[in-house]
Structure 1
Amino acid sequence: MADTALVIGGTRFIGRHVVDDLLDHGYEVTIFNRGNHENPFDGHDTVQHVEGDRREELDLKTAKLSVEPDVVIDCVAYYPEDVRVATDVFADVDGYVYISSGSAYGVEEIPKREGETELCECTDEQATDDSHDSYGPRKAEGDREIAAAAEEGVNAMSVRPCIVYGPHDYTERLDYWIDRVLDHDRVVVPGDGQNLWHRAYVEDVASALRIVAEAGEPGEAYNVGDRRLVTMEEMINLIADAADTDCAVVHAGERELAAADLAPEDFVLYRDYPHVLDTDKLAGLGWESTPLSEAMEATVAEHRDSDRDGSEHDPGRDAEERVLGVLDTL
């Protein structure tokens, strides 16, 4: 008899890849959510759906009784209370895995290591706040709830991804850069192009969640990210190679950007101080990451078939053209 898995979430970005990965490894899968988003598995014979609100304890208990899962992957625990309640409801499963974040780390150091790098503190106010500024503290407090549950005998673990990219990414962060490469032969990149923000291919995050559920140590957290990091300039080149096109990277410093009222931070996925996660602990469980060229080819191919263009992150092509004009005169 196949193992059963309950995916809390499961229809949007990371969740849908988690479902695919579990199916590929022989699990019977049920997704649990409110049904507010289109279900890509609607009509799929091997994926069941239980409707409910993950913030309602009774709904979680109903899902547990309905599915009797061996493992639970929690894709949408955004508040510490979500984790506390879920680890209580699913206290007897073989593995409960919470998706935390690299944002849970509270200090800047290279690399950030599980159990060594300090986590964010979380005030009572931050624990219930839904703002961007409280995201890291909330995720860190969720990790503490995982550790506390493990102390009580729950097989609970957490996985900390860095910036996640890949097919069906509704954040459209990488879509902005793909769109630029596909539509223009020159792309403005802030600084010298060497800034480093660790990224994780979504299928690798999905496999990490399954592997940690199967082989992780209760109470532990596991970083996940590409095993080979690339700079922003290398990322643009990877996109161009995957799209089989030519695109010149044009570096622009703060002075040149200011000529068009832009700053480096106006460009999505730019980060001044490097954000790098140590992934050795996860690799020790047998996890491997997808080769970057393969990951980018799949990402670009799905982008072409989508209607996403990353326009919400666009600093304005007219402004970029002014920056290019300034640089052309130097």
Structure 2
Amino acid sequence: MRVLVLGGTSFIGRRVVERLHERGDQVAVAHRGKTEPAHWVPALHIHADRQNFRSRASQIHAFGAEAVVDSNALTGADVDAVTGVLPDVPTVVLSSQDVYQAITALRAGRCDASVPLDESGELRRDRYPYRGRGYDGVPDDYEKLDVEERWLPRGAAVLRLPMVYGPHDDQQREDPILRRILSGSTAIPVGEGTLLWTRAHVDDVARAVLAAIDTRAADGRAVNIGEERVFPIRSWYQHILDAAGSSAELVTVPDSAVPADLSISKAHPQHLLASVRLASDLLDWTAGDPATRVKESVGWHLEQAHQSSWSPDQQSTDEAALASG
């Protein structure tokens, strides 16, 4: 099969491209050219910013894609810029479980939604959740609801992703624990850590994308992706420590003292636990064992770590937090 991937050179898109190549598909990757992995799988690279996508229309058409994966549409404008150029073929779009009202409740410190969240759950009442926050790489008009509202009527399969971890994770979700391990910390200050937040390994997400391409059963629908077995945040931290072979202890401190990079271990009245039953039923897909996946991910990240980025100020913050307990 000939598959065109929009984005596709970092983290989730990168793993999707690798999976497609492994099974023998021909892949074209349309991206800005800012990140291009060295010694990577063979693929046709089409350098195209979304806002100038029409300038590459002849290359897009010449490739003759039989399926499209949109791995990095962040805004409604991102979709508008490409839909008039892309071929009318089965399309899989990566969205986020931040479309649910539960994410707003989590950030506000209240509970608005029962869990597990299924695909009929209440969507966010507010729009543009990161506007004005200045997050690196996140535009002010970031809005996966806008992305879904444009793609779903076109028959695309929309995969709502949870917290995704694994090799090449640009958000470095395991880093708060791993940096402390590498710095030699023996005690890590955390909150009660009871939050349930669905996660998924990047390779399992890539497998879900391929399943959506192959089965077509999710066309025109939004489907939650994630691990069926979800451990609380504190247990996840412990799994990271165990996978790294660390004897460091997680020490409970008051929420007011929890370091900022460990804030998800504080007490939160709203959980982000998603039901993935529809993905199992429609796509015949299930995620791998969480403990095994964490071990794989931690192993990869430790192999890449040449030194700790831990600073004296961070160490002082931890020491003050531990003293407060």
TM-score (norm 1): 0.82
Over the residues paired in the alignment, what is the CA RMSD in angstroms?
3.0
Q: Which amino acid aligns with 2:36?
A: E
Residue number in structure 2 paired with 1:281:
278
| Structure 1 unaligned blocks of 5 or more | 151-155, 258-262
Q: Is the 8 A contact 2:94 2:160 kept in 1?
A: yes
Q: Is the 8 A contact 2:97 2:224 kept in 1?
A: yes
Mean Cα deviation higher: 207-216 or 60-69 = 60-69
Q: Distance in 1 between matches of 2:124 and 2:235?
A: 30
Q: Distance in 2 between matches of 1:134 and 1:4?
A: 31
Distance 1:51 1:65, change over 3 A: same
Residue number in structure 2 paired with 1:177:
177
Offset, 1:131: 5.8
Q: Which amino acid aligns with 1:198?
A: T
Distance 1:136 1:243, change over 3 A: farther
SS of the residue 1:236 aligns to: helix
Q: Which amino acid aligns with 2:220?
A: G
Residue number in structure 1 paired with 2:221:
220
Offset, 1:177: 1.6
Residue number in structure 2 paired with 1:65:
61
Q: Distance in 1 between matches of 2:209 and 2:308?
A: 27
Matched ranges for 1:1-330 at <5 A: 3-42=1-40, 44=41, 46-59=42-55, 61-93=57-89, 95-107=90-102, 108-109=112-113, 110-122=115-127, 138-150=143-155, 156-182=156-182, 183-190=184-191, 192-215=192-215, 216-254=217-255, 257=257, 263=258, 266-270=261-265, 272=268, 273-284=270-281, 285-307=283-305, 316-327=314-325
Q: Distance in 2 between matches of 1:178 and 1:52?
A: 36
Instruction: Provide, for residues 15-53 of structure 1, a one-character-per-residue CA deviation record: whole Å limited to 9, x for no partner.
Output: 1111111122221112111211132455x4x32211111
Q: Which amino acid aligns with 1:48?
A: L
SS of the residue 2:123 aligns to: coil
Offset, 1:231: 1.1
Distance 1:302 1:58, change over 3 A: same
SS of the residue 2:300 aligns to: helix
Q: Is the 8 A contact 2:4 2:28 kept in 1?
A: yes
Offset, 1:234: 0.8
Equivalenced residue count is 308
Q: Distance in 2 between matches of 1:62 and 1:134?
A: 29
TM-score (norm 2): 0.84
